[in-house]
Amino acid sequence: MGDYTVFHLMPWSGAYAIYFFTIGISAALFFFSTRSWFPTGQALVPIRTSAAYVSFALLAISGLLLIGDLSQPMRFLNIMNPAYLNFASPLAWGGLNLISFGIASVLYIKALKQNDEKNAKFFGVIGSLLALGLPVYTGFDLTVHQNRPVWNTPLMPVLFVAMSLVSGSAVAAMLAKGKEAALAKLRWHMLWEGGAVGVMLIALLGTTAYGGSGSELTFILMTSGSLGLIFVGLGILLGTAAPIAVLLTSFGRQHAGILAAAGLLLVGGMALRYSILIGGQIVQTYF
Amino acid sequence: MSELRISSIETRGVPGKKRYAMVIDLRRCIGCMACQVACKAEFDVPLGVFRTWVPYKVVGKYPTVRKMFMPRLCNHCDDPPCVRSCPVEATYKVEDGGFVLQRYERCIGCKACMASCPYNARFMLPRHRSYTNITSVVDKCTFCHHRVSQGMVPACVQTCVGRSRIFGDLNDPGSEVSYLVNTLPTQVLRPEEGTKPHVFYIGADRNHTEIGRTIYDPSDVMNAERVMFEKNQRS
Ligand code: SF4
Ligand code: SF4
């Protein structure tokens, strides 16, 4: 009673979670499009073009979201100024990664339109490596803040790569409409990558629950507190465990089952990104 | 004994360099908030945000109670995570003196520095201000760089009626801050973060300077204040 403190706002709002979501899907769709040029990815040929286009559209949306979230949007050009760049910051690497991925995407789409297999493969592989960098850097963006519970774990970049692949396969499954071989391949992706996300979430819950006072409080807030419904309800149960269960049943091998699981995985992917982003910031606002 | 320096950015104990620090003697703080007001006046700090602030807590149960004041500000860390995380070097450390400052014209407003500061020392300036055109960029305490470089002490130190805040060069063994830090037990906030803060507290009680369990069940009064602060900061 009678206490007084100054309240602080969370620096990164929920809008960043939308960015994490769209950029993750963009990266994974590019990877699936590229895979279709190689023998092991033949099943993905039907989504080769649509995945590339949707990936590029989402990249453009992500860029706008990122710029729109800056309080000085026009100064996004500063991040391309070599005289300013601070390479100790993952954001600087992220900016360069985004730009180079954008260039690789344009060159890949050009080769794709000309049906130039050699160049499509070349720019596809380069672009896929850059695409991998996108979830990796978003993970690092969070990991490097040593004072933040949930974020400050080496798991983050890997978790973001897995979440990118899960959400990307879910969107790819929606693009694959009725193409049996593609759907079967994407079902396999959703199942294993969804499983990997599930395992990592268990590890994340463990380290958060036993991570000191700030982490313990964050664990409480994320599981039974204000984020409980989003993190546990939508993210873990409805958005990760339920779709895996669906995919394991015979219904999950049918077209409708795969699409239902894909929808749930997308809901889960968004909920997990949101709650990880916000969860890492709650307790500090009271410090 | 020489200082243990882990990163090349650290300036404490570097020969020929100044390393400014503040000592806050909590036994002397009476919670008048004159420092908070002096800082607001010195920099036209907008409503709802603070470069320095004096939260307090009532500790104990009647009849053994005490009001614990805890003046806060940027710690001008020797190894500042905010400087590390800024993608465009809009926040930087002045090597001679150790001030952590802002380049307002360069800041893109990504708020990475706010996310990385363990002390909530940074805030976003509002879009509209009456007397200055520095808007929509991140701001923070400067250790009154403009005053200190003219041989004065920071505004909060100058105004502190209890002489609770003491400022000086820690690399000068004859300074008052050196004397206090070297001869009395002092505490810094969240030392485990590795930031090496340069605001030292005398009489701080770690039981009360850590993130507490009250967070899970904040009082209604606190929530009402939070809503007001959020409203102020958005307008
Ligand atoms: S207290 Fe925060 S803003 Fe100040 S130098 Fe340390 S990390 Fe940076
Ligand atoms: S908000 Fe400004 S000062 Fe802070 S990290 Fe971003 S560009 Fe740097």
Give tens-digit pLDDT for B56-91.
Answer: 888 888 899 988 899 999 999 999 999 999 999 999
- Between positions 141 and 160 of A, the ones with CB within 8 A of B are 141, 144-148
Q: Which of B55, B109, B218 sits opposite A70 (nearest CB)?
A: B109
Q: Which of A90, A146, A220 sits opposite B216 (nearest CB)?
A: A220
Query: Chain A: residue nearest B60 by CA?
Result: A1
Q: Which of A12, A85, A220 sits opposite B87 (nearest CB)?
A: A85
Atom 5 in ligand 2: residue holding the nearest Cα:
B86
How many angstroms is it from A286 CA to the middle of ligand 1? 17
The answer to whether A147 contacts B194, with C-beta atoms less than 8 Å apart, is no
Q: What angle in degrees, to the nearest 10, is found between the helix axes of A15-35 and A90-113?
A: 40
Q: Closest Cα partner for A236 from A192, A197, A184, A209?
A: A197
The answer to whether A146 contacts B194, with C-beta atoms less than 8 Å apart, is yes
Q: Which of A75, A147, A281 sits opposite B193 (nearest CB)?
A: A147
The answer to whether B84 contacts A12, with C-beta atoms less than 8 Å apart, is no
Give tens-digit pLDDT for B65-74.
Answer: 988 899 999 9
Ligand nearest, relative to CA of residue B75: 1
User: What's B222's domain CATH number?
Assistant: 3.30.70.20
Atom 6 in ligand 2: residue holding the nearest Cα:
B110
How many angstroms is it from B121 CA to the middle of ligand 2? 13
Give tens-digit pLDDT for B149-180.
Answer: 999 999 999 999 999 999 999 999 999 999 99
**Could you report how far apart the first and last alpha carbons of chain B are, in Å?**
52
How many angstroms is it from B90 CA to the middle of ligand 2? 6
Residues B6 and B156: their CA atoms lie apart, in Å, by 31
Do A23 and A134 meet the contact criterion of CB atoms below 8 Å apart?
yes
Atom 5 in ligand 1: residue holding the nearest Cα:
B76
With residue B66 as reference, give the H or E element that holds it. Answer: strand B64-69
Give tens-digit pLDDT for A172-181.
Answer: 999 998 899 9
User: What's A191's domain CATH number?
Assistant: 1.20.1630.10
How many angstroms is it from B180 CA to the middle of ligand 2? 34
User: What pLDDT sits at residue A1?
Assistant: 43
User: Mean pLDDT of all residues in chain A?
Assistant: 95
Tokens linked to B112: 């990475």
Reduced to 3 states, what is the DSSP secondary structure of residue A91? Answer: helix
User: What pLDDT sits at residue B7?
Assistant: 76
The answer to whether B53 contacts A6, with C-beta atoms less than 8 Å apart, is yes
Query: To test ligand 2's pocket by mutation, which of B74, B89, B111, B124 has the most ligand atoms within 8 angstroms of CB?
Result: B111
ipTM of the complex: 0.92
Q: Closest Cα partner for B118 from B191, B219, B65?
A: B191
Q: How many domains does chain A have?
A: 1
Q: Bigger pLDDT: A277 or A284?
A: A277
Do A272 and A235 meet the contact criterion of CB atoms below 8 Å apart?
yes
B198 ligand 1 Cβ < 6 A: no
How many angstroms is it from B74 CA to the middle of ligand 1? 5
* A137 has pLDDT over 70: yes
Q: Which amino acid is at A174?
A: M
Domain, as residue range, for A80: 2-286
With residue B202 as reference, give the H or E element that holds it. Answer: strand B199-202
Q: CB contact, 8 Å: A96 with chain B?
A: no
Residues B31 and A3: their CA atoms lie apart, in Å, by 12
Q: How many domains does chain B have?
A: 1
Ligand nearest, relative to CA of residue A81: 2
Domain, as residue range, for B186: 2-234
Tokens linked to A247: 């995919």
Tokens linked to B139: 């701001």
Do A158 and A188 meet the contact criterion of CB atoms below 8 Å apart?
no
Give tens-digit pLDDT for A44-57.
Answer: 999 999 999 999 99
Query: Min CA distance, B192 vs chain A (Å)?
Result: 9
Q: Which amino acid is at A271?
A: A
* B136 has pLDDT over 90: yes
- Other CB atoms within 10 Å distance of the CB of residue A53: 15
pTM score above 0.90: yes
B51 ligand 1 Cβ < 6 A: no
Atom 2 in ligand 1: residue holding the nearest Cα:
B117
B91 ligand 2 Cβ < 6 A: yes
Q: Give the strand pairing for B72-73 and B20-25.
A: unpaired
Give tens-digit pLDDT for A93-126.
Answer: 999 999 999 999 999 999 999 999 999 999 999 9
Mean pLDDT check: name the lowest of A139-143, A148-152, B8-12, B37-41.
Answer: B8-12
Do A29 and A54 meet the contact criterion of CB atoms below 8 Å apart?
yes
User: What pLDDT sits at residue B219?
Assistant: 61
Find the mean pLDDT for residues A129-142: 97
Say how far residue B81 (Cα) sits from the centre of its chain: 14
